């Protein structure tokens, strides 16, 4: 936790970083000894009053350090634990041991930075309680220093405990056990929506599964897979979902999610590297606001809960990096106050907003030797309101426009008073209606904020790594939707204006910077859209002769409802568009009742999607394909659940998308069967060349019209 008068993080010495980290409540630092210690504590092997119901975890591997974490139950007061790290799983060679207190004000969670470790090595850790009981053993590792031959990253996102099982983690573990040593996972990167803030109440209207059923899921122990009522009782939100209202409610969610055995085992086996998206706080929030309402107190509460339950090297981070702004959670008192006094990136300078978002800073970078540098970006805390103003959105639980919108309109609104070279129009045309321009006098809407954007640009430009990886909470690629069959329609209209499609000005700025600075081998790794997606990102999607500057690989949801089902709900009001999203699978001979025409709509256009809906053969579907629709996209899999694995070597980046069967069956979760694997790769590219994704082998059931060479 930074202290008053601390120097800027980018110039803090390692010694000061450790001092600030160890001064934070619930944090400790211990250095590893060069050889095994003698006289270390051993578990007593008898019943204990204490337990570790959320398991153990490690995070943010660096060349000489890693963070470890646990939570203990058994006493309302502080509980003293012994933390150990060893070079072997039997703990015969303990190289670090220290006593620590877990405090009730941090919900009895604790995180520690283990330093003075050897690079590129596995370690084992555990916690021993006052009665001699032990936590499960965790395994972690450090990053290499200097030359690195390969990096293997598994990318996860969007896990809804009540919507499905965390089968994807079970599949990852099974795959990793069968992999060659050089291909085994180095760390898991979770890019957001680790929890879903709203839970089901007695009258909640939940989404169906892929067969149209609304299921009651059970856990292995016979309990109903529900999050139970919040400690506060919560508040009733849209469609009778129950939303959290305070810190204890957010803690309750993490505690419930982390009892899942597959997630818990994955956290024990691999270091996790994490950022957040919106559901860790509230759907579609920006800064500390929901729509125009201040939620500053909730922002602080959700930040504290994330800090308590998600280990990360924040104040103690940047040990291998040249610049670090990250900082641990620091309690602040805030009250609700209207947004105002915006800077030129639409960041509200209202003091309560600044205090809330600055109570913790999570954007940071990690290095994997000379092979890769990973830039972890916070796309929520500093963003302005979405490009399409909320008052224009009227469809669905997650508000979207009624139909695809002209991307140039989004750009005009996003640019605010800077549009048209500082001469924004007085009026705009939205879905055939002429309206006053609501952003005419407002600043440009940023996704990253001025300071974080400067950090990202500087890091990309000056990185000495062969590959520059961006861990994003949402994809940079444009997601176009063809409604050109309508008068005034567009071949690549915008629907998902809650992501980068709603912030095109800054997207163009960042991608043009990469082009102009001739930065090569940049890769975006992301999730968010509840679908497997892949393609290349242009410097300017609206420009003449756009240039590809990086590939993007976006993984589907772990268990949250699929994009196909979400989009089906959002298009139900429009019979013409709904045909382009789903069709009756059983009427066409498929086992699955609800099938996606959405893949074809996004990869091939409306005519192809209509042919899919009508049951035309493959030749007819592809004959109707329009090459001007999303020409930069290679893969769309709208009913997929699972994850992706990126394997990076100096010469190429191989990506495998792993799709599990819809995770709504307990038996299916135990088997963790694979529906399909889609393999893509991209070769490292020199200055003056553009990246291009190459389709490899597809194992199992092919995604329905979801691949384009």
Per-residue confidence (pLDDT) for residue 495, from 0 to 100 = 93
Per-residue confidence (pLDDT) for residue 117, from 0 to 100 = 97
Residue 209: which residues within 8 A CB-CB, separation 6 or more? 215, 565, 662, 664
Ramachandran bin of 35, using left for φ above 0, alpha for ψ from -120 to 50, beta for the remaining angles: beta
Handedness of CA 142, 266, 85, 15 (dihedral sign): positive
Residue 557 in tokens: 């949801």
Over the chain (709 residues), the average pLDDT of each successive run of 10 is 36 49 73 95 94 98 97 97 98 97 96 96 98 98 97 98 96 98 98 97 86 90 92 92 97 98 98 98 96 96 98 82 88 97 98 98 97 98 90 63 92 97 95 90 98 98 98 98 94 94 98 98 98 98 95 98 96 94 98 98 98 98 98 98 98 98 90 96 97 97 94
Handedness of CA 139, 143, 148, 154 (dihedral sign): positive
Q: How many residues does the chain have?
A: 709
- Chain-centroid distance, C-alpha 211: 27
In this structure, the dihedral spanned by the alpha carbons of residues 607, 610, 616 and 619, taken in order and rounded to 10 degrees, is: 30
* pLDDT tens-digit series, residues 444-472: 999 999 999 999 999 999 999 999 999 99
Indicate the DSSP class of residue 518: T
Per-residue confidence (pLDDT) for residue 324, from 0 to 100 = 85
CA 498 – CA 436 distance, rounded (Å):
21
* pLDDT tens-digit series, residues 132-148: 999 999 999 999 999 99
Per-residue confidence (pLDDT) for residue 6, from 0 to 100 = 37
Contact 551, 523 (CB under 8 A): yes
- Other CB atoms within 10 Å distance of the CB of residue 419: 20
SS3 425: coil
Domains of the chain: 13-39+48-142 (2.60.40.380), 153-198+245-380+445-708 (3.60.21.70), 388-444 (no CATH)
Cα 220-226-227 angle, rounded to 5 deg: 120
Per-residue confidence (pLDDT) for residue 202, from 0 to 100 = 84
Distances (CA, A) of 512 to 313, 506, 553, 693: 31, 10, 20, 20
Per-residue confidence (pLDDT) for residue 238, from 0 to 100 = 82
CA 487 – CA 97 distance, rounded (Å):
71
Question: Per the confidence metrics, is the pTM higher than 0.75?
Answer: yes
Intra-chain end-to-end CA distance of the chain, in Å:
49
- 66-71 β-sheet, strand order: 27-31, 109-115, 66-71, 56-59, 272-274, 187-190, 151-156, 641-648, 652-660, 674-683, 694-700
Please tell me the number of Cα atoms within 13 Å of 88 on its side-chain side.
8
Per-residue confidence (pLDDT) for residue 24, from 0 to 100 = 62
Residue 156: which residues within 8 A CB-CB, separation 6 or more? 168, 169, 188, 189, 190, 191, 527, 555, 558, 643
């Amino acid at each position: 936790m930074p202290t008053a008068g601390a120097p800027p993080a980018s110039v803090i010495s390692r010694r000061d970083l450790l001092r600030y980290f160890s001064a934070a409540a619930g944090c400790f630092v211990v250095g590893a000894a060069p050889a095994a210690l003698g006289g270390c504590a051993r578990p007593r092997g008898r019943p204990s009053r204490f337990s570790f119901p959320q398991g153990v975890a490690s995070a943010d591997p660096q060349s000489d350090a890693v963070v470890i974490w646990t939570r203990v139950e058994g006493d309302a007061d502080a509980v003293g634990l012994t933390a150990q790290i060893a070079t072997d799983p039997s703990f015969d060679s303990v190289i670090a041991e220290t006593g620590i207190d877990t405090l009730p004000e941090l919900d009895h969670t604790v995180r520690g930075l283990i330093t003075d470790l050897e690079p590129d090595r596995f370690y084992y850790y555990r916690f021993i309680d006052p009665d001699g009981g032990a936590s499960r053993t965790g395994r972690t590792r450090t990053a290499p220093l200097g030359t690195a031959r390969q990096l293997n990253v598994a990318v996860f996102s969007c896990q809804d405990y009540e919507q499905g099982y965390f089968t994807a983690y079970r599949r990852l573990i099974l795959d990793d056990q069968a992999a060659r040593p050089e291909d085994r996972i180095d760390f898991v990167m979770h890019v957001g929506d680790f929890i879903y803030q709203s839970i089901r109440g007695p009258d909640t209207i939940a989404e169906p599964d892929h067969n149209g059923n609304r299921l009651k899921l059970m856990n292995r122990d016979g309990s109903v897979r529900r999050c139970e009522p919040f400690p506060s009782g919560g508040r009733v939100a849209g469609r009778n979902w129950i939303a959290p209202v305070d810190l204890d409610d957010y803690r309750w969610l993490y505690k419930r999610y982390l009892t899942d055995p597959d997630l818990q085992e994955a956290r024990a086996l691999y270091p996790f590297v994490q950022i957040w998206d919106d559901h860790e706080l509230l759907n579609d929030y920006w800064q500390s606001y929901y729509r125009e309402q201040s939620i500053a107190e909730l922002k602080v509460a959700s930040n504290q809960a994330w800090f308590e339950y998600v280990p990360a090297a924040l104040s103690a981070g940047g040990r291998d990096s040249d610049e670090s702004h990250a900082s641990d959670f620091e309690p602040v008192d805030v009250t609700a106050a209207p947004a105002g006094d915006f800077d030129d990136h639409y960041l509200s300078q209202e003091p309560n907003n600044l205090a809330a978002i600055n109570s913790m800073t999570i954007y940071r970078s990690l290095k994997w030797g000379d092979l890769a540098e990973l830039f972890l970006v916070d796309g929520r805390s500093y963003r302005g309101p979405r490009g399409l103003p909320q008052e224009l959105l009227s469809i669905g639980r997650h508000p979207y426009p009624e139909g695809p919108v002209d991307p140039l309109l989004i750009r005009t609104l996003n640019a605010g008073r800077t549009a048209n070279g500082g001469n924004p129009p007085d009026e705009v045309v939205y879905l055939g209606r002429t309206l006053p321009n609501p952003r005419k006098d407002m600043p440009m809407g940023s996704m990253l904020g001025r300071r974080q954007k400067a950090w990202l640009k500087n890091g990309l430009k000056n990185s000495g790594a062969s590959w520059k990886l961006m861990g994003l909470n949402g994809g940079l690629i444009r997601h176009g939707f063809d409604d050109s069959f309508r008068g005034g329609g567009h071949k690549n209209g915008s629907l998902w204006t809650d992501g980068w499609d709603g912030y095109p000005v800054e997207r163009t700025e960042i991608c043009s910077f990469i082009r102009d600075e001739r930065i090569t081998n940049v890769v975006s790794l992301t999730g968010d859209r509840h679908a497997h997606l892949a393609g290349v990102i242009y410097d300017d999607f609206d420009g003449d002769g756009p240039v590809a500057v990086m590939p993007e690989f976006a993984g589907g949801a772990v268990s949250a409802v699929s994009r196909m089902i979400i989009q089906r709900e959002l298009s139900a009001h429009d019979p013409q568009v709904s045909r382009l999203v789903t069709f009756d699978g059983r009427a066409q001979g498929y086992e699955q009742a609800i099938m996606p025409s959405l893949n074809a709509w996004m990869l091939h256009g409306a005519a192809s999607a209509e042919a899919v809906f009508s049951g035309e053969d493959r030749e007819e579907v592809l004959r109707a394909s329009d090459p001007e629709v999303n020409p930069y996209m290679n893969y769309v899999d709208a009913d997929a659940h699972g994850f992706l694995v990126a394997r990076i070597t100096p010469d190429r980046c191989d990506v495998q998308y792993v799709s599990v069967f819809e995770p709504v069956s307990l038996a299916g979760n135990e088997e963790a069967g694979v529906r399909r694997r889609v393999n893509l790769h991209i070769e490292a590219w020199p200055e003056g060349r553009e990246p291009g994704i190459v389709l490899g082998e597809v194992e199992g059931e092919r995604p329905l019209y979801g691949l384009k060479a």
